[in-house]
């Protein structure tokens, strides 16, 4: 009799442990399966877009990647008062694709790519087109963001969509002067 009670108790304890452990294991497996891998890519000539990119990285836990021009932009290159400065010439030529130094390692593992840039003459700098055209982005979600002197992001969406072949391009946002709290709320909504 005692033996029987012992075995019944043991069975009960076992059932209790399994009842608690299994659902917990399932929940954590489901969470893991759902977690999206985030890459935060940005180009920033004078540091403003870099600041916005860092906020997104902090909010999403993503990997930060800076697009660097093979030939860095000097302040003379960016002096848009001069019609003939490098940035203006590039923006005026649809075919220009400035060379990038380096590559993202293993871009295949990322599901969501935040892509940030300053607005130049109402649009994305041409080096952003170089970036998008350098990778196979099929099935990935691209989330554009920018900083600007007030023009906003809408004028850049056409170019981004044209170069991000096979990707799903989300509605972009101008993050100039947005607080960390606002950036976090927006970025989290794009990763879901």
Ligand X SMILES: Cc1cc2nc3c(=O)[nH]c(=O)nc-3n(C[C@H](O)[C@H](O)[C@H](O)COP(=O)(O)O)c2cc1C
User: CA torsion sign, 106 to 108 to 111 to 112?
Assistant: positive
CB distance 123 to 156 below 8 Å:
yes
Binding residue for ligand X, selected from 119, 127, 164, 167, defined by CB under 6 A: 119
**DSSP-assigned letter for residue 120:** B
The yes or no reply on residue 148 touching ligand X (CB under 6 A) is yes
Q: Which of residues 2-41 bind ligand X (CB under 6 A)?
A: none
The yes or no reply on residue 157 touching ligand X (CB under 6 A) is no
Candidate ranges 24-32, 55-63, 112-120, 131-139; the one touching ligand X (CB under 6 A): 112-120
What stretches of the chain show up as alpha helix (H) in DSSP?
A: 2-34, 48-60, 86-91, 126-133, 157-163, 180-191
The yes or no reply on residue 98 touching ligand X (CB under 6 A) is no
Cα-flanking dihedrals φ and ψ of residue 71, to 5°? Answer: -115, 105
The yes or no reply on residue 151 touching ligand X (CB under 6 A) is yes
The yes or no reply on residue 144 touching ligand X (CB under 6 A) is no
With CB under 6 A as the rule, give the number of residues binding ligand X.
Answer: 20
The yes or no reply on residue 121 touching ligand X (CB under 6 A) is yes
The yes or no reply on residue 72 touching ligand X (CB under 6 A) is no
The yes or no reply on residue 149 touching ligand X (CB under 6 A) is yes
Contacts of 182 (CB under 8 A, 6+ apart): none
The yes or no reply on residue 61 touching ligand X (CB under 6 A) is no
């Amino acid at each position: 009799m005692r033996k029987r009670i012992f075995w019944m108790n043991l069975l009960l304890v076992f059932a209790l442990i399994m009842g608690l452990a299994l659902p917990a294991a399932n929940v954590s497996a489901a969470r893991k399966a759902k977690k999206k891998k985030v890459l935060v890519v940005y180009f920033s000539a004078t540091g403003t877009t870099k600041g916005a990119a860092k906020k997104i990285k902090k909010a999403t836990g993503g990997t930060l990647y800076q697009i660097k021009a093979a030939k860095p932009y000097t302040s003379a290159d960016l002096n848009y008062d001069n019609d003939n400065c490098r940035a203006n010439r590039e923006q005026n030529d649809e075919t220009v694709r400035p060379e990038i130094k380096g590559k993202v390692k293993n871009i295949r593992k990322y599901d969501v790519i935040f892509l940030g840039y300053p607005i130049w003459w109402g649009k994305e700098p041409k080096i952003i087109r170089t970036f998008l055209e350098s990778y196979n982005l099929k099935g990935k979600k691209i989330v554009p963001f920018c900083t600007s002197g007030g023009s906003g992001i809408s004028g850049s969406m056409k170019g981004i969509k044209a170069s991000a072949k096979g990707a799903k391009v989300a509605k972009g946002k101008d993050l100039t002067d947005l607080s960390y709290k606002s950036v976090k709320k927006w970025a989290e909504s794009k990763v879901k």
